[in-house]
Amino acid sequence: MASAGKAVIMNIHRPQGGKGTGMRSWDVFCKVVDNYGDAAVCWRLAQQLADAHGAPVRLWIDGIEVLHELCPDIVAEKSRQIVAGVEVCHWTQRSDFGAPADIVVDGFGGGLPEPYVEAMAQRSPPALWITLEYLSAEPWVAEHHGLPSRHPRLALERYFFFPGFSPGTGGLPREAGLEARRDEFQRDPVLQARFWKDLGFTPPNGEAIVTSVFGYSNPAVAEILDAWSSGSGPVVAAVPRGAARAPMGAYFGVIDPEDGTVLRRGSLEVRLLPFLPQQRYDELLWACDWNFVRGEDSFVRAQLAARPLVWHIYPQEARAHWVKLDAFLDAYCAELESAPGAALRALWHAWNDGGGNGTSGAPRVRAAWQAAEPHHERLRRHAQAWAARLAAVGDLAGNLAQFCEKRLK
Ligand code: TRH
């Protein structure tokens, strides 16, 4: 983990942006706390700033091996490399940061190296400091979005930038052309067949309900598999390598099954996939009827896939995550009729509560699935409308670039 101090700031000239060039320079700092999401969001933001705004962007990341899993073009052993227009810099205690950029993004408040902060203040004009916050649908987010805070000692302004689902927030990471690529894929059975074939599988047959499962460790996995295997119609569940893999294997009595394995029971066929590069994972989300996702970035990508989703929120102490879960459900279900809305809520709650038997004595997840699945067509149309609504909020990189341009002296 990189730490403050020790890093040497050498004023090596680097292409500065500067007013009027429209080409601001950016440094995005990402400390990988846990899992993939921190790296995933910072990587998307850096790419979108470079791609849509032609800006010189450096991504400083300590957990570069995580980034390699999301984007195999990134070589974990390299200290610096240009990928997708971004200068990917491995952030270590020996990093030489050079001169600070015009705009510095502190991903999820992970913190910046002290000497680098000093150099930010010595610039003329001082660098703009943005703290990119975690995503939440809670109502207070819009009130806090964009608020400034002066550095206690240095001539530096720091702004808190909140991604979000509604106007008045920073919007979501969403690259240009995403909707067109998604719609083309979802319209074209040849593209979908090629996706499955590239992974070594035949396309699921037309009557099957196709789902993807990416979540945290969850006792409810066995329950949803029971619901699918005992259901009246075929279900194909695609499961990339992750926390759900072990319980999946256990359900079928298989220890540590290989990628590419197909496991069957009753109406259920489980397909075990490798951990996919981000762009392939998008295609999986687009190819499915239901997507079980987690954290922050897959949660957003499933919404942008315009398909019904079930979110396994990152569990927090004292069940603090339930407030975030319900805040999103309130926003998401606001324009849904009560029956599909209530069914979706019940499924999300049962899934996040780890299943177990409800008051009726039946497993909650099975009952919730059986109540929600019949609403699939309505929920699919709603997911499409929701994705269109997100597009109207603008994308995170575009909103951030606009926000910063107004504040740079
Ligand atoms: O990995 P996560 O659990 O990360 C989470 C979030 O960052 C959350 O905010 C944070 O509090 C917590 O960690 C500590 O889930 P998330 O955010 O969905 O990130 C997973 C990324 O992995 C996402 O970009 C999708 C991508 N992915 C692939 O690229 N290929 C795959 O096969 C799969 C399953 C996921």
- Express each pLDDT in 226-272 by its tens digit: 999 999 999 999 999 998 888 889 999 999 899 999 999 999 999 99
Question: What is the number of the ligand 1 atom nearest to the C-alpha of 216?
Answer: 3
pLDDT reported for residue 244: 84
The one-letter amino acid at 265: R
Print burial letters for 42-53: b (CB count within 10 Å at least 16), e (below 16).
bbbbbbbbbbeb
Q: Which of 178, 298, 309 to mutate to test the pocket of ligand 1 (most atoms within 8 A of CB)?
A: 298
| pLDDT tier at 18, thresholds 50, 70, 90 | very low
Q: Is the pLDDT of residue 4 over 90?
A: no
pLDDT band at 361 (very low <50, low <70, confident <90, very high): confident
Is the pLDDT reported for residue 299 higher than 90? yes
Q: Which residue segments constitute the domains of the chain, with CATH numbers given?
A: 4-173+394-408 (3.40.50), 178-392 (3.40.50)
pLDDT at 54: 79
pLDDT tens per residue across span 378-397:
999 999 999 999 999 999 99
314 lines ligand 1 (CB under 6 A): yes
pTM > 0.85: yes
CA 257 – CA 253 distance, rounded (Å): 10
User: Closest residue (by CA) to atom 7 of ligand 1?
Assistant: 37
pLDDT value at residue 121:
97
**Shortest CA distance to 46 belongs to which of 19, 64, 21, 20?**
64
pLDDT digits (tens, 9 = 90+) for 78-111: 999 999 999 999 999 999 999 999 999 999 999 9
Inter-CA distances, 143 with 146, 179, 223, Å:
8, 29, 40
254 lines ligand 1 (CB under 6 A): no
Active site residue 77: no
Q: In percent, how much of the chain has pLDDT > 90?
A: 87
Could you tell me if the CB of 37 is within 6 A of ligand 1?
Answer: yes
Alpha helices in 206-337 (DSSP H): 220-229, 245-251, 278-287, 297-304, 321-333
- Residue 321 beta carbon below 6 angstroms from any ligand 1 atom: no
- Asked if residue 12 has pLDDT above 70, the reply is no
Window from 86-95, 177-186, 355-364 with minimum mean pLDDT: 355-364
Active-site annotation holds for 395: no
**CB contact at 8 A, 48 and 175:** yes
Q: What is the pLDDT of residue 409?
A: 67
Confidence category of residue 209, pLDDT binned at 50, 70, 90 = very high
Kindly report, residue by residue over 44-60, the tens digit of the pLDDT. Answer: 999 999 997 778 999 99
Instruction: Identify which has the larger pLDDT, 342 or 320.
Output: 342
Centroid of ligand 1 to alpha carbon of 220 (angstroms): 19
**Distance of CA 245 from the midpoint of ligand 1 (Å):** 15
Q: Which residue from 36, 68, 279 has its CB within 8 A of the most atoms of ligand 1, so it is best to mutate?
A: 36
Task: State the Cα angle at 364 between 360 and 366, rounded to 5°.
Answer: 110
